[in-house]
Chains A and B, each alone.
Chain A
Amino acid sequence: MNLVTEITILVLAVFVGFEVISKVPTTLHTPLMSQTNAIHGIVLLGGLIVVGYSNDFLGELIGFIAIVFGTINIVGGFMVTDRMLEMFGPKKKKPASVEAASDSATDSTEAGS
């Protein structure tokens, strides 16, 4: 892929990112941060790729550490986000905000499924 294509993708992703993330409510900023944290664990892919062509002990060690770090980042990040969001999930109390109506609609469909 050429550099210009990649920069195009990057710039478009910046706009999508700003658009999507600025809509996340303040209440969820901590889970948002830990979720995006888990998402950047995607560098694990880089670790998987480079370890394939490492050819000495140091190279393998570097690759191994990178894979361990990346995996902790992904697994830990998603699990801890899930723990947090579980607390925000629909359970006893209904969220009584402007979105109450649409939320309770979602809740009932979820309960039905």
Chain B
Amino acid sequence: MSTVYAALAPDSSLVAILYIVSFSLFIIGIKQGTPPTSARRGNMIAAVGMAIAVITTLCQKGIGNWGIIIGGILVGTIIGAVASKRVKMTEMPQMVALYNGLGGGAIALIAWSEYREWIHQANEIKDLSNAAFGPVGSEIVAAHASISVSLEVLIPTLLAMVIGSISFWGSNVAFGKLQELIPSQPLSLPGQKIINGLLLAVLIAGCVYLGFNNDIGDLNQPVFILMLVVAALLGLGVVLPIGGADMPVVISLLNAFTGLSAAAAGIALDNTALIVAGTLVGSSGTILTLEMATAMNRSVANILFAGFGSPATGGGGDQEQRPYRSLNAQDAAIALAYADSVVIVPGYGLAVAQAQHTVKEMADELEKKGVSVNYAIHPVAGRMPGHMNVLLAEADVPYDQLKEMDEINPELPQTDVCVVIGANDVTNPAAKTDESSPIYGMPIIEVDEAQQVLVLKRSMSAGFAGIDNDLFYNEKTAMVFGDAKQTVQDIVTELGNL
């Protein structure tokens, strides 16, 4: 019964060529990102490609239901435009998670629609043959002429449904955690891994069942819907137990998932633009996922299934209070003003406190006093790849001051003062020295090598991962307690008074 799809497939070379134009523009658009200055034009180019693809599709034969189409596009445009104008730069990770989820949700729904259409076709055929041969005759006909949905479209449709649904629910959980609608701590049921394993087994079994029952009379919508639900539960079950600090990996991975499900939907719908665009997104998500996992020195599987940051992970044995030093804003300002070189290490706390502009002010004050200022960006600082770069770019920090980890680490021993703002685990020397630490082996920004370290933090509480940071008790370290933005603001004021 793939004829239905043949009729809806790009039925002219013109349509096919326009799709080729549009996916070429996507590739050119991404390529333009290589010097950051032309990236904006690249984004426009990709958007033009998208417009061509959408208009081409709207002009195709078989497109109908214009009321729904226009209504849907209108509603979607308004919501999308308003949301993207209003979102703050600090909220970018949850915005991306949300958009990603919507894409996945759309794919799952499209797959469901296709399946429903096959059933509708099946019923029509049954009615026709009933009319022609009568009930008994039509049963004989049905028994002899087995008409089935081609596996070439059924399998990709099932894949699109499963991955799309996982991506939708997983991304929504990620959104909820980042937006703090649900606790960002790992949440899991006892035996969550076993439950997830069972869900996966049911999912595979159900899809195999649907795959084998591809005869047009055997299509089973209740099972299909059940699989949508099981995939949703699996998405929830996998992402809920993952803590906020691992979000860069999760978001990248879900991005890859949505891309792959789009490619699967493309195969099901015989649409090249969808196949290529989906695959591009799949590659980009995969690359970012691997990069993030490397930056944490952990495998993707470990991040997904190990429940990192659950309080059970050892290391928190000694509960005794260790001595530490603290400074007020005035002393911190003095330490900074008399330094030659300062390196600022930003983390998620900077985003939470929205302190990026104030930090830039502080850097400007210091530069006026002849202090050289750089920023050390850990690859997994923040909640998504490149999160810190976007925040600092918003505050107009020049790119040449943004140093990657490998670039800055050799310079740290010659640095007078490191200012750690809202970063914790990425600076923890235990990653280098303590084999029992859960973060052992993770590459860190080696701030403990600097001459002096100022840590801006609310209190002495452990970092997100629940691991105590030896850095805070180092004799070179001084804690400056308070809200990051307020503290930096105070330092700026003090610097002005010096």
A interface residues, Cβ below 8 angstroms from B = 1-3, 6-7, 9-10, 13-14, 16-18, 20-55, 58-60, 62-90, 92-93, 95-97, 99, 102-103, 106-107
Q: Which of A13, A45, A49, A71 contacts B280 (CB 8 A)?
A: A13
Partner of B255, one of A37, A64, A76: A37
Decide: A36 and B27 in contact? CB cutoff 8 A.
no
B21 at the interface (CB under 8 A from A): no
A52 to chain B, nearest CB (A): 4
* Interface, chain B (partner A; CB < 8 A): 4, 8-9, 26-27, 29-31, 33-40, 42-44, 46-47, 50, 53-54, 57-58, 60, 62-65, 68-69, 71-73, 75-77, 79-81, 83-85, 87, 89, 92, 95-96, 99-100, 102-103, 105-107, 109-110, 112-114, 116-117, 120, 152, 251-252, 255, 258-259, 262-263, 265-267, 269-285, 287-288, 377, 379, 384-387, 389-390, 393-394, 396, 398-400, 402, 404
Question: Top 4 closest A-B pairs, CB basis?
Answer: A71-B76, A17-B283, A67-B72, A29-B386
**Is the CB–CB distance between A33 and B390 below 8 Å?**
no
User: Would you give the shortest CB distance from A70 to chain B, in whole angstroms?
Assistant: 4
New contact pairs (6) apart from A49-B60, A90-B37, CB-CB < 8 Å? A36-B259, A46-B265, A54-B117, A66-B109, A71-B76, A89-B39
B64 touches A52 (CB 8 A): yes
B384 touches which of A21, A33, A77, A92 (Cβ 8 Å): A33
**Cβ contacts under 8 Å, A49 to chain B:** 8, 57, 60, 62-63, 269, 271
Contact of B81 among A6, A33, A39, A76 (CB under 8 A): A76
Contact A48 B58 (CB under 8 A): yes
Contact, CB under 8 Å: A1 / B270: yes
Give the most central of B44, B110, B120: most A CB within 10 Å: B110
* Contacts A/B (CB < 8 Å), 26 sampled: A6-B270, A9-B276, A17-B279, A21-B284, A31-B33, A32-B288, A35-B42, A40-B100, A41-B50, A42-B273, A46-B265, A49-B60, A49-B269, A51-B65, A52-B8, A65-B109, A67-B73, A69-B105, A70-B76, A74-B80, A76-B81, A76-B99, A80-B92, A88-B40, A95-B37, A97-B399
List, in ascending order, chain B residues with CB within 8 A of A81's CB.
43
Our pick among B40, B79, B89, B265 for the contact of A89 (Cβ within 8 Å) is: B40
A52 touches which of B63, B267, B396 (Cβ 8 Å): B63
Complex alpha-carbon distance, A20 and B34, angstroms: 9
Distance in angstroms from B38 CB to nearest chain A CB is 6
Task: Give Cα A76–Cα B89 distance, bound, in whole angstroms.
Answer: 14
Let me know if A10 and B279 touch, CB within 8 A: yes
Q: Among the listed A16, A40, A68, which residue makes an inter-chain contact with B258, where contact means beta carbons less than 8 Å apart?
A: A40
Is A28 a contact partner of B282 (Cβ separation < 8 A)? no
Which chain B residue has the least Cβ–Cβ distance from A16? B27
Question: From A93, which residue of chain B is reached at the shortest CB distance?
Answer: B398
CB-CB under 8 A from B152, the residues of chain A are 2-3
* Complex contacts, B282 vs chain A, CB 8 Å: 14, 17
Tell which of B266, B288, B399 touches A95, judged by Cβ atoms closer than 8 Å.
B399
- Given the complex, which residues of B lie within 8 Å of A13, measured CB to CB? 263, 275-276, 279-280, 283
Shortest distance from the beta carbon of B82 to any chain A beta carbon, whole Å: 9
Query: Are B8's CB and A76's CB within 8 A?
Result: no
- The minimal Cβ–Cβ distance linking A77 to chain B, given in whole angstroms, is 5
